[in-house]
Amino acid sequence: MPIPSALAPAAPFSDAERDAVYKAIFTRRDVRDQFLPDPVAEDVLHRILTAAHHAPSVGLSQPWNFIVIRDQAARDQVWHAFNRANEEAAQMFEGDRQTSYRSLKLEGIRKAPVNICVTCDRSRGGKVVLGRTHNQSMDLYSTVCAIQNLWLAARAEGIGMGWVSVFRDADLRDLLKIPDRIEIVGYLCLGHVDELYQTPELEVKGWSKRLPVDEMIFDGTWQGDP
Ligand SMILES: Cc1cc2c(cc1C)N(C[C@H](O)[C@H](O)[C@H](O)COP(=O)(O)O)c1[nH]c(=O)[nH]c(=O)c1N2
């Protein structure tokens, strides 16, 4: 039985409020190259991290931590780890696809003044966590929810964000001194932007394209089924 005084009215948003939410969702972009050098103010960063921290989490376990990296030398080292992994990644594509891959910029580690490594503490909340009893990955999914909140809040603040995942886990772990029991979930680059692509950059550059939403609404057959 809910405690009546704990509830607040939940009317639909006004048109302007609703439009603002959709604007953040539809104009959010993965940013690699548009970062401005202007520093990100502490209070702005704190608001963005607070938005991330208000994400849903399994059993309200809040398994995330945010490692904020501003130091140029540290970002340089992370970039070298990216660069090594990116060369390995490039080799995995063949022919024209490899040429196309190599032409893409896939990170803003040195250009973005703030980098954030988002981690998941797999022991947060104890051995048995409500909602995680039959799927241990739920803590990781919760951390991804936090990253999406962060991304949308950043958009609303005029801060661009790029997610970089082209790393060997061990390299990042070593550089950032992250113990084995902590999972690295996302490495994010953040900075002010005054321009963003209107559609995903990978679409603009011909790498991939957004599929129609109606194709995603399950119609009873799985792609590839006979
Ligand atoms: C888990 C995960 C990991 C990555 C990404 C995203 C996510 C969700 N993306 C960004 C990705 O390419 C981008 O979101 C899509 O291309 C769609 O573009 P918009 O985000 O809509 O601009 C990404 N981009 C990039 O340039 N380098 C990368 O290593 C990654 N890694």
Is residue 221 in some structural domain? no
- What's the whole-number mean pLDDT along residues 206-210? 97
Give residue 191 CA to ligand 1 midpoint distance, Å: 16
In this predicted model, which residue has the larger pLDDT, 118 or 3?
A: 118
| Burial status of residue 98 (CB atoms within 10 A of its CB: 0-12, 13-18, 19 or more) | middle
Share of the chain above pLDDT 70, in %: 98
Please state, for a pLDDT cut of 90, what percent of the chain lies above it.
96
The answer to whether the CB of 68 is under 6 A from ligand 1 is no
Phi, psi at 201, each rounded to 5°: -60, -35
pLDDT number for residue 151: 99
Q: How far is the CA of 9 from the centre of ligand 1 (A)?
A: 36
pLDDT digits (tens, 9 = 90+) for 155-176: 999 999 999 999 999 999 999 9
**What digits encode the pLDDT tens for the residues 7-23?**
999 999 999 999 999 99
Q: How far apart are CA 187 and CA 119, in angstroms?
A: 9
What confidence tens digit (pLDDT) does each residue in 29-56 have?
A: 999 999 999 999 999 999 999 999 999 9
Ligand 1, pocket-test mutation among 30, 141, 204, most atoms within 8 A of CB:
30
For 124-145, what is the mean pLDDT?
A: 97
Confidence of residue 2 (pLDDT cuts 50, 70, 90): low
Q: Atom 26 of ligand 1 has which residue's CA nearest to it? A: 106
Q: Domain count of the chain?
A: 1
CATH code for position 126: 3.40.109.10
- Please check whether residue 213 lies inside any domain of the structure: no
Cα distances (Å, whole numbers) of residue 128 to 42, 56, 123, 185: 36, 18, 9, 21
> Rounded to whole angstroms, what are the CA distances from 26 to 42, 87, 196, 200?
26, 32, 12, 10
Phi, psi of 122 (to 5 degrees): -70, -5
Q: Which of 47, 27, 190 is nearest to 108 (CA)?
A: 190
In a domain, 195, yes or no: yes
- Neighbouring C-beta atoms of residue 203, cutoff 10 Å: 13
Say what the pTM is. Answer: 0.97
Q: Average per-residue pLDDT in the chain?
A: 97
How many whole angstroms from 95 Cα to the centroid of ligand 1? 23
Residue 134 lies in a domain: yes
Flag whether pLDDT at 131 surpasses 90.
Answer: yes
| Ligand 1 atom having least distance to the Cα of 31 | 22
Q: Is residue 225, in this structure, part of any structural domain at all?
A: no
Confidence class of residue 224 from pLDDT cuts 50, 70 and 90? confident
Asked if the structure places residue 220 within a domain, the reply is no
User: Does any domain span residue 218?
Assistant: no
Check pLDDT > 70 for residue 3: no
Tell me which residue of 117, 115, 147 sits closest to 28, measured CA to CA. 147
146 lies in which domain range?
31-199
Flag whether 100 is in a domain.
Answer: yes
Which residue has a Cα nearest atom 22 of ligand 1?
Answer: 29
Mutate to test the pocket of ligand 1, among 163, 183, 205 (most ligand atoms within 8 A of CB): 163
- ipTM more than 0.95? yes
C-beta of 109 in contact with ligand 1 (< 6 A): no
